[in-house]
Chains A and B, each alone.
Chain A
Amino acid sequence: MNKKISILGKTYQFNSLKEIMAKANEEKSGDQLAKIAANDVSERIAAKYLLSETRLCDMRENPLLSPEEDEVTKLIESDLDESEYNKIKNWTLSELREYLLSREVDGETMLKVGRGLTSEMIAGVTKLMTNLDLIQAASKIRVITTCNASMGQNGVLAGRAQPNHPSDSLQGIRASLYEALSYGIGDAVIGINPVIDTSSSVKEILLMTKEVMNTWNIPTQNCVLAHVTTQMKAIQQGAPADLIFQSLAGTEKANDAFGINIELLDEANELIYKEGTATGPNRWYFETGQGSELSSESHHDIDQVTLEARCYGLARHYKPFMVNTVVGFIGPEYLYDSKQVTRAGLEDHFMAKLHGLPMGVDVCYTNHMKADQNDMDNLAVLLASAGVNFLIGVPMADDCMLNYQSTSYHDIATLRELLHLSPAPAFERWLEDIGLMENGKLTKRAGDPTFFLSQRGVH
């Protein structure tokens, strides 16, 4: 493969595919911190030129991290659909981009092609795409998954209810959950990030959320986002969990820093299918986010977009019900400002969809990042247009436990109205049944959490 290019009288020489991949990235403070980013804008575009000429088989033959030294690479390799791969292995990334964007290629076809692509190829083509490319290509793909209820259908925008509380007060979580439900949010999952990472505390929260679901017959799923081992212990102690959760990273070493490996995930996988309370086939909830590998110094000098793609390669092995990138959570040293967060959100969504994943995005930022709520409004609209499976719902976008800002219950309700999207079908029927929605619109009773106090459930 070619590592040298002359454009407009200037010659750009790169040493490896790894370097080209990194320098072809749009500007990210994380790549700069890792000292692998392009030195200037023209070097970035030169790298993109070279990358566009790279063939898929070149990428497969030159893995950025060898399967011998990394179990994530090994898993991605062994999960690859060889027959799909063989059909396209001589394509360049440029050809792949144009194929994915062509009108004749529909979502189904893209998903089929995606099975023949490694995560690095998907990351590569992403680097050649503009923001609108990413939106256009992703919008064609529908990934429908089922836990207790299904989501991902065309025209559906689901929302995770994230009713966190700074001390895991069950009453407080419940109150915030009522608020979410009253805005029609909670169809993706009722998912709580606990402060206290103990199995007994996790179990209590699972029991409480299950009780609300049962009292009101809510077609959704519950999850408490503790460390996977804590959830496993809780489930073994009889806690009712529909989904099991874990944060993923894109290298074995970074997963090690998270206290997980594939063996542990396999064990959790077996447990959730045996003892989980869900009725449907998809039982996992994964979270990812650009930059986590660098933060644990286990990035092997690979850029953060490629590493993020590798998370999706790992995730798709477990046929999850939902995946989301917590795109702006990590901080300005990885994504400095709203421009970088916007780009990352669109990249992650597209890459995950091409991996065949039911992708949602936590459109978010921290207070030390150059971004504000207006930037989140913008990105949420872009992602909803791109067909994102779900967004995160937090009261007024302010998570009082994790101390960051995401999208609000109001925001998801607004996006649905604005872009003519609906809650997940079963959830929408439920909202209509209890009188919070009528003809696809929220009713006057919506937005009032005491709605769930005034009546004792429906049976």
Chain B
Amino acid sequence: MIELTDNKLALEQLIQSTPARIGVGCSGTRPKTEIMLKLRMDHAMAVDSVYGDIPKAFFEEFHFPIVQTPCQSKEMYLKRPDLGRKLTSEGESFIREHCKKKPQVQIVISNGLSSKAIESNIRDVYPALLDSLESYGLSSGTTFYVQNGRVACMDVIGEILEPDVLVMLIGERPGLVSADSMSAYMCYKPRIGTIESNRNVISNIHRGGTQPIEAGAQIGAVLRAMLDQKTSGTRLVI
């Protein structure tokens, strides 16, 4: 059994300097039980976030219409990113019929790789985003939710609704530090064939990362810059 240093303060300072799991000690060459279980638990949270679904209560609170991609199962979603970039034909007709056409700003929400990301962050990001749009004098269309979407389904939606700018709030691949991290992908006039370098992104949005309300406010600033400069991606000056 390796006893950790008597120099507790120094060890504490090393541990504080990084979120990496250091100063954990060992038994033989193997990690201590508690730290091993902590790792397993963090992984479990991440896995459950990938495979879990957003609870019904969330939709009762926000009333976002739900639109499907052809990915009917998580396995299909994980193996076929190409299908996550499309909407089902029902989905396409739904937004064509029920969503505002040619809005200045279109907001889309998708679980992506983390349902927890949406569940924990939308409550803060979304109203802060609406505030910033109002404060910049921008108007938005009909916000809706895409089940099992990929970032590039922005293009299909852009093609149908023709917004000036589109922001997609989507769950990121969960890490062990945060299983509920969300990204905001933004694009000026997204259409089928839009290349990745034409999108802008703010990632790592969660309590312990980019502050959700501040992210919401900044998304508004980025969208406004896109509208002013009529471009997005690497050419956008923020």
A interface list, Cβ under 8 A from B: 29, 32-33, 163-166, 169, 171-176, 178-179, 183, 331-333, 336, 366-368, 372-373, 394-398, 400, 403-405, 408, 410, 413-414, 417, 442, 444-451, 453-454
Are the CB atoms of B174 and A163 closer together than 8 Å?
Answer: no
User: Is B168 part of the contact surface with A, judged by Cβ < 8 Å?
Assistant: no
Are the CB atoms of B22 and A32 closer together than 8 Å?
Answer: no
Residue from A174, A176, A396 with most neighbouring chain B CB atoms (10 Å): A396
The interface stretch among B39-47, B123-131, B136-144 is: B39-47
Residue from A172, A333, A367, A394 with most neighbouring chain B CB atoms (10 Å): A367
Q: How far is the CB of B32 from chain A (nearest CB, A)?
A: 10
Are the CB atoms of A367 and B20 closer together than 8 Å?
Answer: no
Are the CB atoms of B29 and A442 closer together than 8 Å?
Answer: yes
Whole-angstrom distance between the alpha carbons of A332 and B28 in the complex? 34
Are the CB atoms of B39 and A398 closer together than 8 Å?
Answer: yes
Residue from A174, A176, A372, A410 with most neighbouring chain B CB atoms (10 Å): A410
The interface stretch among B76-84, B102-110, B155-163, B226-234 is: B76-84
Q: How far is the CB of B79 from chain A (nearest CB, A)?
A: 5
User: Is B15 part of the contact surface with A, judged by Cβ < 8 Å?
Assistant: yes
Q: Out of A332, A336, A373, name the residue touching B43 (CB < 8 Å).
A: A373
User: Is B192 part of the contact surface with A, judged by Cβ < 8 Å?
Assistant: no
Whole-angstrom distance between the alpha carbons of A396 and B32 in the complex? 11
Considering the complex, give the chain B residue whose CB is closest to the CB of A180: B22
Residue from B25, B29, B80 with most neighbouring chain A CB atoms (10 Å): B29
4 interchain residue pairs of minimum CB distance: A172-B18, A403-B175, A396-B21, A367-B46
Considering the complex, give the chain A residue whose CB is closest to the CB of B50: A368
Whole-angstrom distance between the alpha carbons of A453 and B28 in the complex? 23
List of B residues within 8 angstroms of A175 by Cβ: 14-15, 17-18, 20, 22
List of B residues within 8 angstroms of A163 by Cβ: 18, 20
User: Is B7 part of the contact surface with A, judged by Cβ < 8 Å?
Assistant: yes
Q: Out of A33, A171, A172, name the residue touching B80 (CB < 8 Å).
A: A33
Q: Out of B18, B29, B40, name the residue touching A176 (CB < 8 Å).
A: B18
Q: How far is the CB of B118 from chain A (nearest CB, A)?
A: 16
Q: Which of B6-57 contact A (CB under 8 A)?
A: 7, 10-11, 14-15, 17-26, 28-31, 35, 39-40, 42-43, 46-47, 49-50
Whole-angstrom distance between the alpha carbons of A75 and B140 in the complex? 54
Identify 18 new A-B residue pairs, CB closer than 8 A, beyond the known A372-B43, A400-B21.
Answer: A166-B19, A169-B18, A171-B18, A174-B17, A176-B18, A176-B20, A183-B26, A183-B29, A332-B78, A333-B81, A373-B39, A395-B22, A395-B24, A405-B43, A408-B31, A450-B14, A451-B5, A453-B10
Q: Out of A333, A404, A410, A450, name the residue touching B30 (CB < 8 Å).
A: A410
List of B residues within 8 angstroms of A405 by Cβ: 43, 176
User: Is B177 part of the contact surface with A, judged by Cβ < 8 Å?
Assistant: yes
User: Is B101 part of the contact surface with A, judged by Cβ < 8 Å?
Assistant: no
Are the CB atoms of A403 and B176 closer together than 8 Å?
Answer: yes
11 examples of A-B residue contacts, CB within 8 angstroms: A163-B20, A169-B17, A169-B18, A175-B17, A367-B174, A367-B175, A373-B40, A394-B20, A447-B25, A448-B2, A448-B11
Q: Out of A179, A417, A454, name the residue touching B22 (CB < 8 Å).
A: A179
| Residues of A contacting B: mostly | mixed
List of B residues within 8 angstroms of A396 by Cβ: 20-21, 24, 31, 35, 39
Q: How far is the CB of A4 from chain B (nearest CB, A)?
A: 30
Considering the complex, give the chain B residue whose CB is closest to the CB of A32: B79
User: Is B113 part of the contact surface with A, judged by Cβ < 8 Å?
Assistant: yes
User: Is B173 part of the contact surface with A, judged by Cβ < 8 Å?
Assistant: yes
Are the CB atoms of B79 and A164 closer together than 8 Å?
Answer: no
List of B residues within 8 angstroms of A179 by Cβ: 14, 20, 22-23
Whole-angstrom distance between the alpha carbons of A396 and B24 in the complex? 8
Q: How far is the CB of B46 from chain A (nearest CB, A)?
A: 4
Are the CB atoms of A333 and B79 closer together than 8 Å?
Answer: yes
Whole-angstrom distance between the alpha carbons of A397 and B42 in the complex? 12
Are the CB atoms of A33 and B50 closer together than 8 Å?
Answer: no
Are the CB atoms of A332 and B79 closer together than 8 Å?
Answer: yes
Q: Which of B181-223 contact A (CB under 8 A)?
A: none
**Given A367-B47, A398-B39, A408-B31, does the pair A165, B22 have CB atoms closer than 8 Å?**
no
Q: Out of A178, A333, A373, A414, name the residue touching B29 (CB < 8 Å).
A: A414
Are the CB atoms of A333 and B22 closer together than 8 Å?
Answer: no
List of A residues within 8 angstroms of B5 by Cβ: 448, 450-451, 454
Are the CB atoms of A398 and B2 closer together than 8 Å?
Answer: no
List of A residues within 8 angstroms of B11 by Cβ: 448-450
Are the CB atoms of B7 and A398 closer together than 8 Å?
Answer: no
Are the CB atoms of B42 and A398 closer together than 8 Å?
Answer: yes
Q: How far is the CB of B167 from chain A (nearest CB, A)?
A: 23
Whole-angstrom distance between the alpha carbons of A166 and B208 in the complex? 12
List of B residues within 8 angstroms of A400 by Cβ: 18-21, 175-177
Residue from A173, A445, A451, A453 with most neighbouring chain B CB atoms (10 Å): A453
Residue from B2, B5, B14, B176 with most neighbouring chain A CB atoms (10 Å): B14
